[in-house]
Chains A and B, each alone.
Chain A
Amino acid sequence: MNNDLKSRIGTAIGVAAILAWCLLPVAWIISLSFKSQEAVTNGSPGFFPSNGGGAGWSNYSDVLQDPQFRRAIFNSIGISLIATLLSVILATLAAYAIARLEFVGKRFVLTTALVIAMFPVVSLVGPLFDMWRTFGIYDTWPGLIIPYMSFTLPLAIWTLSAFFREIPWEMEQAAQVDGATSWQAFRKVIVPLAAPGVFTAAILTFFFAWNDFVFGISLTSTENARPIPAALSFFVGADPFNRPASLLAAGAVVATVPIVVLVLFFQRKIVAGLTAGAVKG
Chain B
Amino acid sequence: MAAIEMKNIVKKYGDGFPAVNDVSIDVADGEFMILVGPSGCGKSTLLRMIVGLEDITDGDMIIGGERVNDLAPRDRNLSMVFQNYALYPHLTVYENIAFPLRLAKKSEKEIDEKVREASKTLDLDEHLERKPANLSGGQRQRVAMGRAIVREAKAFLFDEPLSNLDAKLRGQMRTEIARLQKKLGITTVYVTHDQTEAMTLGDRVAVMKRGVLQQLASPRELYEQPVNLFVAGFIGSPPMNFLPATVEDGKVTLPFGTFPLPADKAKAAEGKGLLMAGIRPEHFEDVSVIEEGHVDTSRTFEAHIDVREWLGDQQYAYVPYEAEAKVQAQLKELARESDSDSLRTQLVVSLDAASKVKEDDDATLFIDTDKMHLFDPSTGDNLTVGL
Contacts and interface: CB of A to CB of B under 8 A. Distances in A.
Contacts of B79: 177-178
A170 interface: yes
Given A178-B103, A179-B104, A170 B74 contact: no
A280 interface: yes
B80 A177 contact: yes
A189 interface: yes
A276 B89 contact: yes
Given A170-B86, A177-B80, A280-B85, 7 more contacts: A175-B99, A176-B74, A179-B74, A179-B103, A192-B90, A277-B87, A277-B131
Nearest to A180: B103
B178 interface: no
B135 interface: yes
Top-5 shortest CB links A-B: A277-B133, A279-B84, A170-B86, A174-B86, A178-B100
A139 B51 CA distance: 55
A142 B184 CA distance: 60
Nearest to B135: A277
B53 interface: yes
Given A280-B137, A280-B164, A181 B87 contact: no
Contacts of B100: 178-179
Interface string B41-82: 000000000011100000000000000000011100111101
A184 interface: yes
A168 B90 contact: no
Interface in B112-140: 131-135, 137, 140
B73 A177 contact: yes
Given A171-B88, A175-B99, A193-B90, A180 B82 contact: no
Given A177-B53, A177-B74, A179-B103, A279 B90 contact: no
B86 A279 contact: yes
Contact of B74 (A181, A192, A195): A181
Contacts of B134: 277
Nearest to B163: A280
Contact of A278 (B52, B74, B80, B132): B132
A174 to B, nearest CB: 4
Given A170-B82, A280-B84, A176 B89 contact: no
A184 B133 CA distance: 23
Interface string A269-281: 0000011111110
B86 A278 contact: yes
Contact of A171 (B52, B80, B86, B137): B86
Given A173-B73, A277-B134, A278-B132, A189 B88 contact: yes
Interface string B214-228: 000000000000000
A6 B144 CA distance: 51
Contacts of A275: 89
Nearest to A277: B133
Interface in A244-281: 274-280
Nearest to B73: A176
Nearest to B150: A178
21 contacts: A170-B82, A170-B83, A170-B84, A174-B88, A176-B52, A177-B51, A177-B52, A177-B53, A177-B73, A177-B80, A178-B74, A181-B74, A184-B103, A192-B90, A277-B131, A277-B133, A277-B135, A278-B133, A279-B87, A280-B84, A280-B164
Nearest to B53: A173
A277 B104 contact: no
Interface string A158-196: 000000000010110111111111001000110011010
Contact of B87 (A173, A176, A177, A278): A278
A243 to B, nearest CB: 51
Contacts of B135: 277
A186 to B, nearest CB: 13
